[in-house]
Structure 1
Amino acid sequence: MRLPPRPRPSRGRGAERTLVSTTNTYAVTGMTCEHCVKAVREEIEQLDGVSAVDIDLTVGGQSRVAVTTDTPLPLDQIRGAVEEAGYHLATPAS
């Protein structure tokens, strides 16, 4: 089941600087329901610079998690957020 991303306002003064968004896609295992999706979304959204999180749930497989950011985020930050939610970052999706 694919849920639309929830846009969030960018942090900082948008009128004073130009932001270039980047979307990276990751594979996450272990998610089985909308509660799982919510948990992962909430953890990733807490990271600085995240403007949207789009999750395509694949029950029993690798769910696609697309993260749009205003600034590049290290993979370890994404992995930490996913693990804090109780799931596993399999690999950046291709």
Structure 2
Amino acid sequence: MRHTNRTLHAALGISQHLAHATLGRLPLLRHTLTTARRVQIAYVSGDGEATMRVIEPAEVRRSKAGDWYVRAHDLLRGANRSFRLDRITAYAETA
């Protein structure tokens, strides 16, 4: 997983690092998920399982408990899924 995170972070380039520093991680992630057609994410589930996913975001919303989620079509699972944003450890927009 560490190698994958480094590869994703290297692919993001300096512009996203500057945006993270300026905007903060969560606002930039929410923006990416609301504007991108497809996003590759490194995701850690509630039980600690780390996976790489390619998703097609449909909606970003905040739960009543205050957590942010993205509802998306998960190409790995071939179904709609919800992902908690604080469990996305790395991401990159894909073609």
Relative to the length of structure 2, the TM-score reads 0.29
The structure where helix makes up a greater share of residues is 2
The structure where strand makes up a greater share of residues is 2
Higher relative contact order (CA 8 A, sep 6+): 1
